[in-house]
Chains A and B, each alone.
Chain A
Amino acid sequence: MHTTTVVIGAGHAGLAVSHYLSQRSIDHVVIERGEVANTWRTERWDSLRLLTPNWQSRLPGVAYDGDDPDGYMSMSEVIGFIDRYALTIDAPLQTNTRVTSVRPNRDGYEVVTDQGTWSSPTVVLATGGFNLAKIPSLADAVPQSVEMVTPIEYRRPGQLADGGVLVVGASASGIQIADEVHRSGRPVTLAVGEHVRLPRVYRGKDVMWWLDRTGILDERYDEVDDLVRARNLSSPQLVGTPERKTLDLNALTDNGIRLVGRLAGIADGRAQLSGSLRNKCNLADLKLGRLLDTFDEWAFEAGIDAEVDPPHRLAPTKVDPSPPLSIDLTSGEIATIIWATGFRPDYSWLHARVLDRKGQLRHEAGVVNHAPGLYRIGLNLLRRRKSSFIHGAEDDARDLTDHLIAHLGVGAPA
C-alpha cells in the first residue's frame, strides 16, 4: 500500500498531526497497535488523573467545553476526550495494527505491520515517550523474595503483597503511587534522588496557570539553557485531585511515609541508600524558590498582583537528620519494590541509523537527523517546554506538518 504520510500512533499527538495533514489535504494513514488512546487505556493506574487542568486539555480545533475547567481528567475522561477528537477530525485510522518494522526504502520508508506493508515518503512517529519502564541494572540484585512492579504494570494497591513497599523515585509517578499505597496500609519508604518540587496551587492559581501565563511552557528547545538536562528532568511532583492538593515530600512525610536517599546499590541483600538526600531536597527547594520568584516578578510587571493571592513561600523540605543508609531486603520489611525510575520510548522496530549510543533518537526538534521525511512528536521538550502535554501537541504538530510539507515539495510552509 502507498500513502504520502504514515503516522504511527493514535494518541493525542498522532491525531493532532493527522488534523493538520488533513487540513493540508495530505493523503495519510494513522496506524495504531490497539485502540485510539491505547496507552491511556492499558498502561495507566486506576486513580491517575492528568497533571494539567481541564482548561489546558485542548487539541487543534477542539477546546475543553465542560463545566469544570479547573478539574483534572480521569483516565476514562482522557480516553473519551481523545476518542471524540479522532471522530471530530475524521482521522484515517487503521487500529489494531501493530508496526513491526520501519526502514528506509527507495520511496522513503517501508512500514511493515501485522496487517500489511505501507510505503510512504514521510513517516511521523507518534508512539509516545513512555513505552518502557526504565529499571536500573541494580534491580538484578534484588532478592527473589521481593516482588518488583513498574508504574506501567501498577493498577491499584490491592494488587501488591501485604507488607512494606519501597518506591524508588520521587517523580509524579513515584509520589502518587507512594501516597496511595501507603494509605492502603502498606508502609512506604520512598527513595528520593533528584526531583522537581511544585505546589499544586500558588497564590490561588493552579501552578500550570502560572507556567502557562508566564510563557515558561512556550519556551523553545533552543532557548533552554541545558537541553539534555531539561529533556531528562523527572516529571514534577504533582497530582490532579478534586481538592487540588499539593503532594510534595512534606505532604508524604506528614502522612507517615519515610524518605530515604537515592537507591545507590544493592549488595548482600541490602539496599544501599545515598547520603545525598538533604542536598537533593535542598536543590529542589532552591529551584522552586527561584520559580516562585519568577512568578511573582511576572505578576508584578503584568500588574495583576491584586487579582491573585499574596505571595508566599513553601516550608523547606523536612529531612530526617540521619536517614537510614541501608535497608535489609531479606528481612521481610520490604515486600515490594516499585520502580518509578522513569520511562523510555521503544524503538525496537525502528531499523534506521537514527539512534545514539544511549538508544535515543537523534533529532532536531522532532525532525529526525539524517533521515529525510522522518519525524517525531510527543517527547519531553521536543520543540517547547509544553511538548509532552496534551495542549503542547498543537504547535508541535503544526510546525512538523509544515516541515513535512516543505520536504514533500507540494507547497510552501504556511
Chain B
Amino acid sequence: MTTTDTPINNGVNVQALLDARAALIDAPEGAQFTWRAATEWVGGTHSRSEVQGFFGLGGEQSHRSTFSFDADHPEVFASEDNGATPVELVLVGLASCLTAGVAAVAQNREIQLRSVKATIEGNMDILGILGGDPEVRNGFNDIKVKYDIDADASPEEIQAIVAQSQKRSAVFDVITNPTNVTVEVN
C-alpha cells in the first residue's frame, strides 16, 4: 500500500523464516525445541530467573548473553517489590509475542509499520490465590490487549495483521489453551 520506493523494512527477516519453514517441513525433527529458564529464590517473595540456553534445530543453542529477570510481589502485598509480579511477566510475554508477530506479519504483507504500541490488562480476583473463595480461580478472569498502530495500511489491514499475529502466537496459544504441567522435586 506504500507509495514510496523505499523497500518495506520492519526489521524482520521474513525470508529466513519462510526458508526455515520449508526446511523444517522436510526435516521435522529439527523443529523440536525446548525452552528453559532457571530460577533461584533470593528472599521473601523475590526470585531471580536466568535464561541462557535452549535446544533446537537438532542441537544446543544459546542466547548472545544471559538474560536475567527479577520477580517479586508489590508493597500492597507486604513485599519488597524487587521486580514485576510473575503475572505481569505473563502479560509481558503475551504482549511481546503478539507485537513480534505484528512486525513479522506486516513485513510478510509488505506493510511498513511506523509505531506499534500495546497496552495489556489482566483482570484477577485475588481471593483465588488467597484461598478466600473456592469458587474463584487463581488466574486471570480475562486479558485485554489494546493496540495503537501507525502503518501504511487501511484499518482493515491493520485488524488483519493483529488477528493473524494472535493466530500464530505461541504465548496466545499457551494462555488460551490448556498445557500439561509437571512439577517435580529432585
Contact = CB atoms under 8 A, between A and B. Distances in A.
Interface of A: 194, 228, 261-262, 264-265, 267, 272, 274-276, 279, 282-283, 286-287, 289-290, 322, 357
Given A289-B156, A290-B156, A322-B142, A283 B175 contact: no
Is chain A's binding surface mostly helix, strand, loop or mixed?
mixed
B163 interface: yes
The B interface, classified by DSSP as helix, strand, loop or mixed, is helix
Interface in B130-186: 141-142, 156, 159-160, 163-164, 166-167, 172-173, 175-178
B28 interface: yes
Given A194-B167, A272-B177, A274-B177, 15 more contacts: A228-B25, A264-B178, A265-B177, A265-B178, A275-B175, A275-B177, A276-B166, A276-B172, A276-B177, A282-B159, A283-B163, A283-B167, A286-B163, A290-B156, A322-B142
Contacts of B28: 357
A328 to B, nearest CB: 15
A272 B175 CA distance: 12
Contact of B160 (A267, A276, A286, A322): A286
Given A286-B156, A289-B156, A322-B142, A276 B163 contact: no
Contacts of A265: 177-178
Given A274-B176, A274-B177, A289-B156, A279 B142 contact: no
A160 B11 CA distance: 55
B177 A282 contact: no
A279 B156 contact: no
Nearest to A357: B28
Interface of B: 25, 28, 141-142, 156, 159-160, 163-164, 166-167, 172-173, 175-178
Contacts of B177: 262, 264-265, 272, 274-276
A261 B176 contact: yes
A138 to B, nearest CB: 10
A279 B178 contact: no
12 contacts: A262-B177, A264-B177, A265-B177, A267-B178, A275-B175, A279-B172, A283-B160, A283-B167, A286-B159, A286-B160, A290-B156, A357-B28
A329 B139 CA distance: 23
B142 A276 contact: no
From A262, A283, A357, residue with most partner B Cβ within 10 Å: A283
Contacts of B175: 275
Contact of A282 (B163, B173, B176): B163
Contacts of B167: 194, 279, 283
Contacts of A357: 28
A249 B141 CA distance: 25
Contacts of A276: 166, 172-173, 176-177
A290 B160 CA distance: 10
A289 B155 CA distance: 12
Contacts of B160: 283, 286-287, 290
A262 B167 CA distance: 13
Contact of A275 (B25, B163, B176): B176
Nearest to A326: B178
A114 B177 CA distance: 47
A279 B166 contact: yes
A188 to B, nearest CB: 23
Contacts of A228: 25
**Looking at A228, A262, A275, which has the most chain B CB atoms within 10 Å of its CB?**
A275
